[in-house]
Amino acid sequence: MKIAILSRNPNLYSTSRLVEAGEARGHDMIVVDHLKCNIELEKKKPRIYYKGAYLNDIDAIIPRIGASVTFYGTTVVRQFEMMKVFTAVGSIALVRSRDKLSSLQILAKAGVGLPKTVFTNYTKDVEHFVDSLGGAPLVLKLLEGTQGLGVVLAETKNAATSVLEAFNGLGARVIGQEFIKEAGGADIRVFIVDGVVVGAMKRQGKEGEFRSNLHRGGSATIIELSDEEENTALKAAKALGLAVAGVDLLQSSKGPLVLEVNSSPGLEGIEKATKVDVAKKIIRYIERSV
């Protein structure tokens, strides 16, 4: 098969590993910068023009779409879908997962455990906003934040109201969530491929840091999931329609709570922590599907 990885940088760990895994399985692997694709629309004749030629011989794509280019990246994925090309991550699921508020609403409707969450449209009654989450400490997140950026732990009510007022003044939309103290600055990343958990790691934030993102100096170790944790992760990925996903969980006294479902999860952390060839499992999923 000829498989295209939609990625802006062929040297990224995840991209290069997918190329390596695909070539090891005998496939023709190419990396396509989705921002450099021209989309041509005509009745029953969708086409993609890229670097002087039409991409008309692709059997499958693996989207690796960054959050900052979700709009155009999703458009390119949708165009491939119109061309009857299999995609490891569908355009609708990609859009759902990137809209933090919408994805939380979908997860809540599906009965997935979540930290209590409040969203408001620049409310003036910031004290009620804080009180509705059980008071401080609480977590405030920018809707557009990624990799732990735009996430603030407000440890007192005064701090929470001040941060909210500041965000409101900047016209920045935020989500408020209860702070799960018993998580201890750690979360669990569960990697799912085709309805199966292929690996899980516990990410621990560095000293004095409540965010566990590896990009922010956190560490990762392999973990064996409980049945409840595994079922919660699978349910979350299914609710959003994602066959390939990274589900982030918090361990709480109320059971596992989903923080986020990532539609382009990085491979480096999970592969190094678990020693599992996740890239190969994604390629095998495509082989079964095409």
Secondary structure class of 80 (helix, strand, coil): helix
Compute the radius of gyration of the chain from its Cα atoms. Answer: 20
3-class SS string, 81-140: HHCCCEECCCHHHHHHHHCHHHHHHHHHHCCCCCCCEEECCCCCCHHHHHHHCCCCCEEE
DSSP annotation of 174 reads E
* Tokens, residue 199: 């690996």
Helix, strand or coil for residue 173? coil
Per-residue pLDDT tens over the stretch 33-87: 999 999 999 988 999 999 999 999 999 999 999 988 999 999 999 999 999 999 9
Which range, 127-131, 200-204, 217-221, 229-233, is most confident?
229-233
- Percent of the chain exceeding pLDDT 90 equals 68
Q: How far apart are the first and last CA of the chain?
A: 9
Residue 209's φ and ψ, nearest 5 degrees, are: -115, 125
- Other beta carbons within 10 angstroms of residue 69's beta carbon come to 14
**pLDDT tens digits along 205-247:** 766 555 555 555 567 899 999 999 999 999 999 999 999 999 9
Q: What gap in Å lies between CA 260 and CA 96, rounded to an integer? A: 11
Question: Per-residue pLDDT for 185 more than 70?
Answer: yes
* Domains of the chain listed by start with CATH number: 2-96 (3.40.50.20), 117-179 (3.30.1490.20), 182-289 (3.30.470.20)
pTM: 0.88
The gap from C-alpha 190 to its chain's centroid, in whole angstroms, comes to 11
- Please check the confidence at residue 120 and state whether its pLDDT lies above 70: yes
Vertex 6 angle, CA 99 and 271, to 5°: 85
